Structure 1
Amino acid sequence: MRSLLLRCLVVVLSFHTAFAAEPFIEKSDLFTAGDGGYKIFHIPGIVVTAKGTVLAWCEARKKGGDWDQIEIVLRRSTDEGKTWSAMKSIANVPGPKTKNPFSLAVKGVDPHDVTYNNPVLIADRDGTVHMLFCLEYMRCFYQRSTDDGESWSTPVEITSAFNGFQSTYPWKVLATGPDHGIQLKTGRLVVPVWLSTATGGNAHRPSVTATIFSDDQGKTWHASEIAVPCTDEWINPNETVAIELADGRVMLNVRSESKAHRRLVTISKDGATNWSTPKFDDALLEPICMASIIRYSLAQDGGKNRILFCNPDSLSRADGKEEPGKTRDRRNFSVKLSYDEGRTWPVTRVVEPGPSMYSDIAVAKSGAILCLYGRGLKPGFAGDFITLARFNLEWLTDGRDTAGASK
């Protein structure tokens, strides 16, 4: 009997080995500086729609600065990122535009430039793609697509949603995301935002972070409570990403300029109220750069809960040591994996060892992981390319994905 059991075990293990996926990683440049007459492409985002279409977008900047002439452009893929449509501009508010008056104090700003900024997309379970974007860091608009990003509705202004913040934080500059927003199990749409009184550097500081949310599929939007204020400890919290935890709570992962050099984390039961006291995550370096986070949970592997996080991480080395003076470097773009809802990050893999910048992350229907990130030929804030890295869980974990993920 024991011999028979051993033979059966060998057969099962052989079957598993034969059909286990081979690790792979593939890279392709989706946006290259100079294309279409744009000096740089910056602030990328990526989502996978309910039908499986991949949408990749970014800011296309004519000159390069945050307050310069900027458009929002999109590319589509119907084969999980292997091939792509041509670049297309997708944000256009009709009528005259007025420059944010606080931008005019920033050196070199042209009052005639039109700045579309901070696009955020949400892939709804019903197939709708919701999109928010800002104009002049002063007005916010909502539009939607019902054909997987082929066409978009006329933008509707939702700046009034931000009025709910004014009593506690008299902002003069507003920004959504950037990156993707999320839809909760309840159907609520949640978009992280940051706000500034525009009295500091680049008219973007000081700043605080919060969310706006919609419970009627984008028809109306509302302000949350301030999630992370600006203090001596939490310095200028701004670009923020969100994820729904397995128990339904919402966790924000926050960029800041704090001396701890680590990402900030805060949690709310509903993505809007009663935020927990922000804490630094010692495992997540903060190089003062956009990051991204997403759940990796597939029906084909039993729905195990994993969370993926990515950002430039100069500490992602074999010895894990911190190099003096290098903590803030935008390089060494890395992906981390958590099996316990973000409490620990036991897996780290470097995707791009050189200069690397803003990023977003998505999961294709097949389970392929899609990272869209800026990379440069030399150090800088934006880079020369926005590159897509496609890889699988086997590559990320070196074939050693543990079975300890919670369900």
Structure 2
Amino acid sequence: MGNNIPSKSYSRCPNEINKTTVFKQEEPQTWCCCCKKQVSYRIPALVYLSDDRTFLAFAEKRKTLSDTNAEVLVMRRGTWKDAMSQEVEWVSGQQLLTSACLPDHRSMNPCPVYERESKTLFLFFVCVPTGVSEYEQIRTNKCRGRLCYVTSKDAGKTWSHTTDLTADVIGEEMKEWAPFAVGPGHGVQMKSGRLIIPAYAYRYTGNPNCTSFCCLSFCCFTSYALAFYSDDRGITWKVGNQLDVESCECQMAEIIDDKGVSTLYCNARTTLGYRTEALSYNSGQDFATVLSPNKLIETGNGCQGSVLSFLQQSDPPITYLLYSHPSNPENRVDLGLYLNKTPLDSSGWSDVPAMILHHGPSAYADLVEHEPGRFACLMECGIEHENEEIAFLLFELPAKKL
């Protein structure tokens, strides 16, 4: 879901240490979504595999910036050298994930999750028929996407063939959905072992008796977040219930309180001017509590954001939440990092960003923790436009913020 209006020129932040371009838009540099010669990269997703000290960065390779011109998923591999150098060495060149596809479909929205017991990396994505737009699925009130994944047992060096879960997992529920997608960004493995893949699906919410063309438009459809989940290390999957409030592209995080009780948190994009935040007390089967006071602002018509839980070392350990999103309420600029030390209470979010990860145009991003207290971000950013490149950045939180 793009916002491809050029932004004014910004200078680079002097404090962007260890910022590395992972994917870069290819010539010619033009912001015309119809330009068929423009190769672009969008929709970043990031995972860290601690056993291999390896970051895997994923994105969509597109003919243009347009969602409809997505083609294939791509990946780059980076090795974290050591804590002293704070450097990641990236293998030159990108890997086309040619097995992550279906014939005559485009692959979109990479969403990785690592299953720690079997040491299996799952990469979820959606496949949409070539040339079929999100608008076309809305106009016809028909979902055309497929829920798919590939797996790797060797830290992304090789990948399985695509597994299509659509019929077995979504089944008849597809008749109630228009477009749907996973993530984008990382999934979660909970303390219990349950694997969580965040997702959302549009449903028709207009007049049920109206079938005219004028009513089959975005204003008559609303997106609602949900989770796909597995309790057997990814052998079988189920679909949870959707939230009952508007919630689009989303990420989820596990919050563990001082008594060891687990709660699944959802943070989702909306068109309401603020983010939807919700809690699940049954690990994603449904989200019974929608949080307020809607403290996290949305940007313009909305933008994807990333959320991550981490343990602040104490006795007992305390869960904090990190959230990244453009900090400007109108435009996709100044990617901010926000901190909540009381994550079950949405009023705990900081009023201003704890850090600005990129000054200037910036949009979608994905956060991971690679060592206790050490984090990485994969983000769309640029000098004149947010889709000039997808860059990688290592960072630590300022001590005074913790």
Note whether the superposition's TM-score is higher than 0.5: yes
In structure 2, the residue matched to 1:350 is 356
Deviates more, 1:189-198 or 1:128-137: 189-198
Work out the CA distance in 2 between the residues paired with 1:117 and 1:155.
13
What is the one-letter code of the residue matched to 1:68? N
Change (3 A) 1:262 1:162: same
8 Å Cα contact 2:108/2:125 also seen in 1: yes
Change (3 A) 1:221 1:33: same
Query: Would you say 1:242 and 2:233 are equivalent positions?
Result: no
In structure 1, the residue matched to 2:4 is none
Displaced runs of 4+ in structure 1, greater than 6 A? Answer: 298-302
Measured after TM superposition, the shift of residue 266 of structure 1 is 0.9
Measured after TM superposition, the shift of residue 257 of structure 1 is 0.6
Work out the CA distance in 2 between the residues paired with 1:332 and 1:249.
30
Measured after TM superposition, the shift of residue 200 of structure 1 is 2.9
Work out the CA distance in 1 between the residues paired with 2:240 and 2:64.
34
Measured after TM superposition, the shift of residue 286 of structure 1 is 1.1
What is the one-letter code of the residue matched to 2:197? V
Work out the CA distance in 1 between the residues paired with 2:79 and 2:366.
19
TM-score (norm 2): 0.76
> In structure 1, the residue corresponding to 2:170 is in which secondary structure?
helix
Aligned 1:189-338 pairs, distance under 5 A: 189-197=195-203, 199-201=216-218, 205-229=221-245, 234=246, 237-246=247-256, 247-258=261-272, 261-287=273-299, 288-297=302-311, 303-314=317-328, 327-338=329-340
Aligned residues: 335
In structure 2, the residue matched to 1:89 is 96
Query: Would you say 1:362 and 2:362 are equivalent positions?
Result: no
CA deviation profile, 1:166-203 (whole Å, cap 9, x unmatched): 4xx711322111100001111111111111258434x9
Work out the CA distance in 1 between the residues paired with 2:220 and 2:18.
36
Aligned 1:110-259 pairs, distance under 5 A: 114-126=105-117, 127-136=119-128, 138-160=145-167, 161-163=169-171, 165-166=173-174, 170-197=176-203, 199-201=216-218, 205-229=221-245, 234=246, 237-246=247-256, 247-258=261-272
In structure 1, the residue matched to 2:213 is none
- CA-based RMSD of the aligned residues comes to 2.8
> In structure 1, the residue corresponding to 2:67 is in which secondary structure?
coil
Unaligned runs of 5+ residues in structure 1 are 1-22, 98-113, 315-326, 403-407
Work out the CA distance in 1 between the residues paired with 2:370 and 2:316.
16
Measured after TM superposition, the shift of residue 370 of structure 1 is 0.4
Work out the CA distance in 2 between the residues paired with 1:65 and 1:222.
31
Change (3 A) 1:285 1:91: farther
Change (3 A) 1:365 1:87: same
Measured after TM superposition, the shift of residue 333 of structure 1 is 0.3
TM-score (norm 1): 0.75
Q: Which one has a bigger Cα radius of gyration? A: 1
Work out the CA distance in 2 between the residues paired with 1:330 and 1:269.
33
CA deviation profile, 1:129-166 (whole Å, cap 9, x unmatched): 11111110611112211111111111111012122634
Work out the CA distance in 2 between the residues paired with 1:366 and 1:208.
33
